[in-house]
Amino acid sequence: MMYKIESKNVAFYYGSHKALKNINIAIMNNTVTALIGPSGCGKSTYLRLLNRMNDLIENTKVEGEILIDGQNIYGKGVNVDSLRTKVGMVFQKPNPFPKSIFENVAYGLRVNDINDKNLIEERVVTSIKQVALWEEVKDKLKKSAFELSGGQQQRLCIARALAIQPSVLLMDEPTSALDPISTAKVEELVYELKTKYTIVIVTHNMQQAGRVSDTTAFFYMGELIEYDNTKIIFTNPKQERTQNYITGRFG
């Protein structure tokens, strides 16, 4: 059985500082995996390895292999732009472009040399519908994206990521900046999207991990302490450190 994403003995260095040590995770297709752990544990660093966003940071080094669909994304001759259309990303703070709602979603298509007007429109509409935003914006597609609320902007950013039809979606604390209602809407969305995508989500909110994910990986000081079905992590984790973290018993 082939895994969607596989990390084999992955280590990562910021300069001489070893930020990730010996990470081994195998993620299955059409699942939601939550990455949890205290600040500075390496979960966001690990997430950014999956679409090589860390390449943009100077003086960093990756060891080990990360396979997506069986192919090592750090191998020779890998096209990073192509990788990033396959592996989309949504960030903590909603960051719509200073463009119209329509153009925000269309941008990724245009930048990937898709010029067919009909195809662009079809993809934009489909994506906006996928994130349950269509009813709210269908009459104002030409308005600036900044006129939307924070929660709507974040859903727009997700639509933007989905428009180029990735197979993996990376989400770095996607609801940290949102109010509870918007958070709930994004969580429902993640739960629905997993039938079509493989999703990896970093979250500070453990209850969120419980609500949306199938599997959970607990990171601590650059190490992967435990990775298992979310049900098991939250009812009977195998590692004491995992239990201490999720029950809030930390010094």
* Residue placing its CB nearer to other proteins in the complex, 41 or 212: 212
Which of 65, 69, 121, 136 lies at the binding interface for other proteins (CB under 8 A)?
Answer: 136
Binding segment for other proteins (CB under 8 A), chosen from 25-33, 41-49, 63-71, 204-212, is: 204-212
Shortest Cβ 229–other proteins spacing (Å): 10
Asked if 51 is part of the footprint of other proteins (rule: CB under 8 A), the reply reads: no
Which of 61, 140, 143, 231 lies at the binding interface for other proteins (CB under 8 A)?
Answer: 231
Beta strands across the sheet bearing 32-36 = 71-72, 60-68, 5-14, 17-27, 223-229, 215-220, 32-36, 198-202, 168-172, 87-90
Asked if 31 is part of the footprint of other proteins (rule: CB under 8 A), the reply reads: no
Separation CA 102–CA 124 (nearest Å): 7
State phi, psi for 220 to the nearest 5 degrees: -155, 120
DSSP H/E element including 88: strand 87-90
Binding segment for other proteins (CB under 8 A), chosen from 20-28, 33-41, 74-82, 210-218, is: 210-218
Q: How many C-beta neighbours within 10 Å does residue 251 have?
A: 3
* Residue placing its CB nearer to other proteins in the complex, 173 or 187: 187
x/- track of binding to other proteins for residues 163-192 (CB under 8 A): ------------------xx-x--xx--x-
* Residue placing its CB nearer to other proteins in the complex, 2 or 181: 181
Separation CA 49–CA 73 (nearest Å): 9
DSSP H/E element including 12: strand 5-14
Which of 43, 234, 242, 245 lies at the binding interface for other proteins (CB under 8 A)?
Answer: 234
At 146 the three-state DSSP class reads: helix
Separation CA 46–CA 200 (nearest Å): 10
Q: How far is CA 110 from CA 7, 107, 162, in A?
A: 32, 5, 14
* Residue placing its CB nearer to other proteins in the complex, 149 or 165: 149
- Residues making contact with other proteins (CB under 8 A): 136, 149, 151-152, 181-182, 184, 187-188, 191, 207, 210-212, 230-231, 234-235
